[in-house]
Structure 1
């Protein structure tokens, strides 16, 4: 069967990486049953990797500045739509809610065709990017990345539970780490302190602005604790400056190691004692998987992350939403109790191994496409 995957962009972000893994899995294991093609609304740095797997089509950006260019782009987009409709697909698979509108447009032109939506967003991001006028009842199946994302569809969009399937994304690094196929270049931080890891981005949901507030609360309660926060993640220069400014004003700069964007974060995760999830909302969180399989216990907020569903099984500690005092208590307990910290780290690896064994088969994705 011929399947058209529609994606917002081919950037190196969670939804795009997850789709790349799905298509790679299909090409390797279901190449006789499923023939994938991908239409990207925008481009991105992963286009080359997608192109090696299957045919791709690329649209245009939505807001060009010149009217003449806009006219040409609209004509090209119209021509591309006609070409796609003539391909007579058996199924359309929209990856992330940003691409739902395009998927519904094509379905309306093609008539009776199976339509699948993959929801990578939880409540906050869905409100920001989903267009309410798009009828979700057009979709035969909605796949979500976590129970958190699924519950949002049920509570706020009146989607029937029987229409929802959950497919946890699996980091490509997890497979390599579990098989021992990763060669780590361990970096020496030249620190005697315990290290707490935190991944930051510029988005409001990632809560980078909460970092100084957490550190202030932590060292206010536990001033004798010898530890530092390692901040990993590429952020705009302005955000880095503002974060540095606030840390200096609060006299916390010496409690932080800022690494910025790095090619292989696993080299640095290997040195951590704890991974901290400060996000206000995150539908899943692949970095938590990677840290867990490296036996790092995780501390996060209830109701903020999709990985809560397996962290609370013994991979770390969850605290009430945005309660920095309770988070400080949890971090202090793990830093002070090495036996407990190592125990939770070991359990974290076992839990993620089970997730990998179940979800790396991508049964929800395959069965929804084949309509089994």
Structure 2
């Protein structure tokens, strides 16, 4: 069976989706499966010029928005690049971004299409203060869900909470199937260590949606209580300078290390004790599963896929969004009780190993793909 995995970002780009798919491809290398990856290189800009129309809405209603204009130009570029590069037929296309899905169905209408919706771009833009809630960009981006429902043969997503979110935009949301992200267990190697000073770590893009400002405030409270720690922040983004300035203002700059982007943070995480990320929204939160596989105690917020991964008090701790005081309390609890921290980390590792194992996810994907093989 010949399958095309259609990405938006190239596999070498940071992020759970693009970095996960190559590991899936490795598991499909057998005489019965042939799988290719496809994505739009970053250097391709402004090449496409063909007109675009959708079946379920008129995108031109939102065409005055610069964000919508940029989105549609990227769509046209994806069309241009796909026509240039894809010369063979596939039995199935599995897309991981709305642009990739809609372009593939436009160019290969007879090929079955699976679309996995991994996140909410509109919610990310709202939280990052790029667009207004209920504004034209929001309506454009959420209209794409209905277009995907019209075009795709199957829609999948990564968490039950995000499936519920889609219910507001789809006609038959009950048909959406849930399959979480999978992680290659061989990439994660827990290391036995004994840190005298608790090591806190977070890995994310530095944007408002990730709540790192709240984390810094919580860490300031910990310092005021006389608790020692080191906070490792791996990632880069548009608000890094603001966060560094905030750490200085709060008097915790000496306890905080900003590393910038790191290609393989999973090689660094096992030396820490606690993974913490107070996101304001997460469809899944891949980095929590990765941290769990590194045998870290988890602290996160009660949102989206995070609250599905963490059972509060069992394999991690959950706190309300934007509540620095509650976050500080949770961190203090795991910092000062090493036995509790160990039990949380062990339970998190056990759940991640069983639920988010790449082997299990690949087996589920094979069963899904085989349904379309019978139909062809």
User: Which bin holds the TM-score, normalised by the shorter protein?
Assistant: 0.7 to 0.9
Q: Which residue of 1 aligns with 2:204?
A: 200
> Could you say what secondary structure the match of 2:283 adopts?
coil
* Alpha-carbon contact 1:7-1:16 (below 8 Å) kept: yes
The number of residues matched between the two structures is 329
1:279, distance to aligned residue in structure 2 (A): 1.7
Cross-structure match for 1:214: 218
Q: Secondary structure of the residue that 1:132 maps to in structure 2? A: helix
1:115 Cα deviation after fit:
1.5
Q: Secondary structure at the match of 2:271?
A: coil
In the TM superposition, residue 320 of structure 1 has moved relative to its aligned partner by 2.0
- Where does structure 1 lack aligned partners over 5 or more consecutive residues? 45-59, 66-73
User: Deviation of residue 248 (structure 1)?
Assistant: 1.4
**Aligned counterpart for 1:165 among listed residues 173, 177, 188:** 177
Tell me how far apart the structure 1 counterparts of residues 253 and 301 of structure 2 sit (CA, whole Å).
24
1:5-84 superposed matches below 5 A: 5-10=5-10, 11-28=13-30, 31-32=31-32, 34-40=33-39, 42-43=40-41, 61-63=44-46, 80-81=82-83, 84=86
In the TM superposition, 1:318-337 aligns within 5 A as 318-337=318-337
Q: What is the CA distance between 1:276 and its match in structure 2?
A: 0.5
CA distance in 2, matches of 1:354, 1:142: 24
Counterparts of 1:112-261 in structure 2 under 5 Å?
A: 112-122=110-120, 124-125=123-124, 130=141, 132-133=143-144, 134-161=147-174, 163-172=175-184, 174-177=185-188, 182=189, 192-219=196-223, 223-235=225-237, 239-261=239-261
- The alpha-carbon distance between structure 1 residues 197 and 82, as it changes in their structure 2 partners (threshold 3 A), is closer
1:260-339 mapped onto 2 (5 Å cutoff) = 260-304=260-304, 306-312=305-311, 314-339=314-339
Cα pair distance change 1:63/1:23, threshold 3 Å:
same
Aligned equivalent of 2:346: 346
Give the conservation status (yes or no) of the 8 Å contact 2:182–2:357: no
What residue is the counterpart of 2:91 in the other structure?
90
SS in structure 2 at match of 1:27? coil
Tell me, yes or no, if the aligned pair for 2:214 and 2:322 is still in contact at 8 Å.
no
Inter-partner Cα distance in structure 2 for 1:78 and 1:241: 37
Closer, same or farther in 2 for the Cα pair 1:299/1:216, shift >3 Å? same
Q: 1:362 to 1:151 in 2, by over 3 A?
A: farther
Distance 1:80 1:226, change over 3 A: closer
Contact kept, 8 Å, 1:116 with 1:142, in 2: the verdict is yes
Q: Where does structure 2 lack aligned partners over 5 or more consecutive residues?
A: 49-75, 126-136
> 1:17-44 CA distances to partner (integer Å, 9 max, x unpaired)?
222222222224xx41x3333332x126
Q: TM-score, normalised by structure 1?
A: 0.76
